[in-house]
Copies of this chain bind each other. A is one copy, B any other.
Amino acid sequence: MVKQLGSGSLCFSEAPFIVSTASVVGTKEGEGPLGKLFDVVGEDDNFGQQTWEEAESSLQKDAVTLALGKAHRRPEDVRYLFAGDLLGQTIASSFGLKNFEIPMFGLYGACSTCGESLGLASMTVAAGCADMTLAVTSSHFASAEKQFRFPLEYANQRPLSATWTVTGGAAFLLSTREKAASIGKPLARIAGMTTGKIVDYGIKDSMNMGAAMAPAACDLIVRHLQDFERQPEDYDRIVTGDLGTVGQEILIKLVKEKGYDISHVHEDCGIKIYNGETQGTGAGGSGCGCAAVTLSAHYLKQISEGNFKRILFVPTGALMSPTSFNEGQSVPGIAHGVVIESVEER
């Protein structure tokens, strides 16, 4: 059912379906170019909670509840939950998801977590280890700023290369063909995956995450194309998570050096989600939630409506912490890729 390809890729002969998805975002994301596509846009960024961390937890909880509801499924129908977030000890996921009582694998892949969770959730279904799984992730601007950067009150200036952490959470419900049949037409299928390696170019500027993550995205995309023996033209889009404008330029150049031109098919969720001209978001959006809500609300819609036949979805993560930064360490990157296809016959 699963074919091992090259260096860390898997091709699913019976591809799991994405049967349902839901996205919940904050006010700034609601005002952006994709604003009308999200399932829920919060009235403010507290989401009725006392702390930023609880607010982030509620993004995950609401996204899971909605995704299950859209598919008319209950938590006990889900065999495994794959989830993670950016916070230390991934507390947004632990506290957001505990009440569902679904057997859970906690993940940490920084902003690549959406790709990591979709990869493992789809592998588990494709390999016959589960009939139905959930992949969930989130980020919150304020909890991330509190965790990683200066306190919000300081009003520090940001360099142009800095990105803006997306307030958003998304959930993806995956299932076998058999289980999907009872739910209705699936949105898409996950036909394969390529798992990321940590790539460290020694970049130490935590305000330039795009540059730190681009080499990992390049490694993933090139390995993926080689493993699947494909060209960039075989994809309607190759979509990174949150490289932003600075990272996009580096990525396209790095991939070109490896013999592939992705300039005409590359898009970045961080660039898609905000209007960089008017929203003051620097190089673009970032955070686990950035790729997750953009996939949920925009790309899956395009695929389910038949506008895209196949995309390579590559969320990118920067594997640093406040401690590693303070201790002068570099910012290694990682990226995880999944192949998402239309359910229409090719």
Interface residues of A (CB under 8 A from B): 1-2, 4, 7-8, 10, 50-51, 53-54, 79-80, 84, 86-91, 94-95, 97-98, 101-110, 116, 119-120, 123-124, 127-131, 146-147, 194-200, 319-324, 327, 329, 332, 334
Contact = CB atoms under 8 A, between A and B. Distances in A.
Given A91-B319, A319-B89, A195 B128 contact: no
A95 B332 contact: yes
Given A7-B103, A8-B79, A321 B88 contact: yes
Contact of A108 (B90, B124, B194, B329): B90
Given A197-B102, A319-B89, A329 B129 contact: no
B104 A195 contact: yes
Contact of A106 (B54, B102, B108): B108
Contact of A327 (B51, B116, B323): B51
Given A80-B8, A103-B197, A198-B98, A91 B323 contact: yes
Contact of A324 (B10, B53, B320): B53
A107 B104 contact: no
B91 A88 contact: no
Given A1-B128, A79-B4, A324-B95, A107 B110 contact: no
A327 to B, nearest CB: 5
Q: Nearest 6 CB-CB pairs, A to B?
A: A88-B88, A8-B103, A127-B127, A89-B321, A103-B195, A94-B319
